[in-house]
Structure 1
C-alpha cells in the first residue's frame, strides 16, 4: 500500500517537475541591434540636468578637477604608524583604514577586506576596520552625537585599535 502512495505522488508531480526543469534552459532572445540607451553620459552632460541633477564629474557640470582637491595631498606624508594614544610608533604602531557609511559601504568594504587579507604583500600594520552599518544614511552619520558613532567606537575597540589610530576613512 505504501509503495502505491509513493508512486502516485511521484507520478502526480513528475510532469510539472520536468516542465519546470526544462524551462531553465530556454534562452530569451536579446535585442542586439540596440547599441545605445539614448542617455547622455554624465561626463558629456556638462551643466545639463539628469533627473534634476547637474551632470559632469565635479560641481557645476565640470569635468576638470578643482584645484582645492589637491590642497591636502601633503596629508599622505602624515600617515604614520601610531600607538593607541595616537603617538608615532614606527616599531609597533598601527595605521587604521576604517569604513563609514551604510549597508552598501559595508558590503563593498567587506569584499575589499577579503581581497586585502589574501594579499601576501599587504603591510600587517595596516588594520582594516568595517565600521559601516546598514540603515545609517549620510544625514544620520553627519550628526556627531548620533548613536552610530558609539557603534564605531565599539567596533574599533573590538578590532584592537583606537580612534587615534584611524588615519584614513573610506
Structure 2
C-alpha cells in the first residue's frame, strides 16, 4: 500500500519509514545530486539576495550573514513548496513536507558554505564589488554541494528528506 499524499498525516511520512516503498529502492547518486542541486539553487538565491540586501541597508557583517542564511532557508523551502503544491496537497501539509524534506540539507549546505567563506582570507571583507568575494562564494557553494550530496543520499535511502517529495510527485 502506498502512502497517499492527500492524506492529512502524509507529512509524517518523513519521520517514519515508508516501508518497502522507499527503503526498498536503491538510492542512486543521481537522485541525491538532483536533490542537492535543488537545495543549492534555493541556498544560492538566498545567499546572494541576503548579501545584496544586507550590504545595501548597511547591516554589519554578522547581520548580513544571518539575513543570507535566513533567505537561503526561505528560498529552499519555497522551491520545494511550489513543487509539492502542484501535487494537490493542501498548503499546510505541503509546507510540512517542504520543511521536513529540506531542513537537514539546507542546514548542512549553509554551515559548510559559511565555514568555507570564513576560512578564505579576506572573503567576508571583500564586499560585493570584489572578485574575491564572488569567487569565494562560488567556491564555498561548490564545496557545500559536494559535502551535502552524501547527506541527501543517506536521508533518501532511509525514506527521509527528498524521498518524501519524490514520492508525493509520483502519486
The TM-score with structure 2 as length reference comes to: 0.25
In proportion to residue count, which structure has more strand?
A: 1
| Greater relative CO, 1 or 2 (CA 8 Å, sep 6+) | 2
- Going by fraction, where is helix more abundant, 1 or 2? 2
TM-score, normalization: structure 1? Answer: 0.26
Q: Which has the larger radius of gyration?
A: 1
